[in-house]
Amino acid sequence: MTSLSVYNVGHQKCEPGYQWGPGVRNHYCIHHIISGSGYYSVNGKTHHLFAGDTFILYPDIEVKYYADMQEPWEYAWVGFMGADAPSILHSTDFTKDHPFIQKAGPPRGLLQKQLALIYEVKGNSYEAAVAMTGALYTLLATFMQYAASSEQVKDIQFLYVQKAKSYISTGYSYPITIEEVAAYVGISRSHLYRAFRACLQQSPKEYLSDFRIRQACRLLKETTLSVAAIAYSVGFESNLYFSKAFKKQKGQSPSKYRENYLMTLLKH
């Protein structure tokens, strides 16, 4: 699955009582109300929404929405999916229990403009897909910016990092990749990178390498395994690469590190 991609984008001025559903979508879909009003039914409740409000459809959740009979709504929408979508939306004020944001959210004109930009750059070419995704990220970043608390973003990043660290701590002896770590966490590699930089000030790749070196130091101290055996034991498939990585971090070769440690023990 890609990090984020636009499924569809559009604009509609509805007739009185125009209805969609009951039904489900297989992707996320944000609707921003430009004028008029309507009703959004989800989770057994019906909400009366007005111009300036925004509601979202979550994948595989049954919904129904319909225009007011007297002042039918006009809205713009964008449908999307991708590995980054759940974590980004978790950092906004949208939730499955409260899938709409009313006027206290982002400025009305700003959202309308950003949705219009996605529509303007739409197309079937690769360049158009990139432009649409970029505009979508900008729209979602706006919802994050106006979320009730930026602490929510930090909390979810911390959880992602903890989950990644747990996977690394049990799988470091295998030749795991950062892509595999990100897949286990349930986000894209780029999103995992941002979470690690925010929480640990280093990349996931740097953390994995540091963790393996720490385990190698433990084995050098506590066992008589050869340097080559230790390299394979901590997930390095090349003894030469292991020695270079070890020396870069510790300033000395693995053999020298073990020798210095043993000399320290003898002195005591």
Domain CATH code at residue 48? 2.60.120.280
- pLDDT at residue 3 above 70? yes
What's the count of helices (H) and strands (E) in the chain, helices before strands? 10, 9
Q: What is the CATH number of the domain that holds 209?
A: 1.10.10.60
- The per-residue pLDDT for 84 is 86
Mean pLDDT of 18-37: 95
Residue where a domain terminates, one of 147, 162, 191: 147
Contact 57, 91 (CB under 8 A): no
- The per-residue pLDDT for 73 is 97
Q: 34 φ, ψ to 5°?
A: -90, -40
- Condensed to tens digits (0 to 9), the pLDDT of residues 124-146 reads 899 999 999 999 999 999 898 88
Contact 53, 112 (CB under 8 A): no
Same domain, 196 and 141: no
Same domain, 139 and 14: yes
C-alpha distances in Å from residue 202, one per residue of 34, 131, 206: 43, 29, 6
- pLDDT at residue 106 above 80? no
pLDDT band at 149 (very low <50, low <70, confident <90, very high): low
Q: Coil, helix or strand for 16?
A: coil
Among the residue ranges 15-19, 75-79, 80-84, 142-146, the one predicted with the least confidence is 142-146
- 140 closest CA partner among 44, 32, 14, 264: 32
- The per-residue pLDDT for 196 is 92
Residue where a domain terminates, one of 147, 170, 186: 147
Mean pLDDT of 47-74: 95
- Round to whole Å and give the CA distance between 22 and 15: 18
- The per-residue pLDDT for 105 is 65
- Domain residues for 216? 149-268
Contact 152, 138 (CB under 8 A): no
- The per-residue pLDDT for 159 is 85
- Condensed to tens digits (0 to 9), the pLDDT of residues 181-193 reads 999 988 888 889 9
Same domain, 153 and 224: yes
Contact 68, 39 (CB under 8 A): yes
Contact 69, 63 (CB under 8 A): no
Percent of the chain with pLDDT over 70: 95
Same domain, 14 and 125: yes
Same domain, 69 and 160: no
Contact 117, 6 (CB under 8 A): no
- pLDDT at residue 14 above 90? yes
Same domain, 231 and 217: yes
Mean pLDDT for the chain?
90
pLDDT band at 151 (very low <50, low <70, confident <90, very high): low
- The per-residue pLDDT for 148 is 61
Same domain, 250 and 168: yes
Same domain, 73 and 166: no
- The per-residue pLDDT for 92 is 87
Mean pLDDT of 222-228: 94
